[in-house]
């Protein structure tokens, strides 16, 4: 079903239904790997925006509606996307500037910000792109350093735990020597 023109709502006002070619996304969904504490800008550019509303969502939470920030998070900001060119649509085949959209800026990224961010276009059948944010966290060592004295032949237990994103790999080496197993290191 295609609706073109205007219609009247007796209780409200008259509304204009967008007509012509429907908008489409120029920006593909991507995965962003960002260091904790950094700033990321998630782009969402479309062609033929007309009067359609572009919204940013995370899960069921609406973050923005058009240029308006809905989320109370002070680290979020809505940025108008750069205008894009429609090839050969201008006079004499010269590209015409059209389109637009809104990018989502997130400052001071934290590990809990990781996940999917959805840019949704409010057409009759909503269209969307998904950006996935992966937050890289510094390696954090949890170790009990100190000197342990044992007699030769006695069993000793040494522990090293580390966390981070990506998950770090831990290996053991002996200073200027090989391990009892004959290897230079153990993972």
Q: What is the DSSP letter of 127?
A: E
**Does residue 58 sit within a domain?**
yes
**Does residue 119 sit within a domain?**
yes
**Does residue 102 sit within a domain?**
yes
Number of domains in the chain: 1
Distance CA 109, CA 173 (A): 35
Q: What is the pTM of this model?
A: 0.66
> What token pair was written down for 24?
């489409």
CATH of the domain at 79: 2.60.40.10
Distance CA 169, CA 187 (A): 7
pLDDT tens digits for the chain (187 residues)?
334 444 444 554 554 555 667 788 999 999 999 999 999 999 999 987 777 889 999 999 999 999 999 999 999 999 987 644 444 444 444 333 346 889 999 999 999 999 999 999 988 888 999 999 999 988 777 766 667 788 888 887 777 777 778 887 777 776 767 666 667 656 5
**Does residue 165 sit within a domain?**
no
Q: Which domain holds residue 57?
A: 22-138
Q: Are the C-beta atoms of 121 and 25 separated by less than 8 Å?
A: yes
At 91, is the secondary structure helix, strand, or coil?
A: helix
Distance CA 176, CA 138 (A): 29
Q: What is the DSSP letter of 69?
A: E
**Does residue 114 sit within a domain?**
yes
> What token pair was written down for 101?
């959209």
């Amino acid at each position: 079903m295609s609706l073109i023109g205007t219609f009247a709502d007796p209780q409200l006002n008259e509304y204009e239904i967008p007509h012509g070619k429907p908008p489409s996304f120029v920006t593909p969904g991507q995965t962003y790997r960002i260091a904790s504490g950094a700033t990321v800008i998630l782009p969402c550019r479309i062609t033929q925006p007309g009067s359609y509303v572009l919204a940013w969502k995370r899960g069921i939470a609406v973050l923005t509606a058009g240029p308006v920030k809905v989320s109370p998070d002070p680290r979020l900001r809505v940025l108008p996307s750069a205008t894009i060119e429609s090839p050969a649509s201008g006079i004499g085949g010269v590209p015409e500037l059209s389109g637009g959209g809104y990018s989502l800026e997130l400052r001071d990224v934290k590990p809990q910000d990781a996940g999917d961010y959805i840019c949704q276009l409010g057409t009759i059948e909503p269209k969307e792109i998904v950006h996935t944010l992966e937050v890289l966290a510094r390696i954090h060592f949890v170790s009990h350093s100190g000197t342990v004295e044992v007699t030769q032949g006695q069993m000793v237990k040494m522990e090293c735990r580390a966390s981070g994103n990506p998950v770090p790999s831990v290996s053991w080496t002996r200073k200027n020597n090989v391990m009892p197993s004959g290897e230079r290191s153990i993972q």
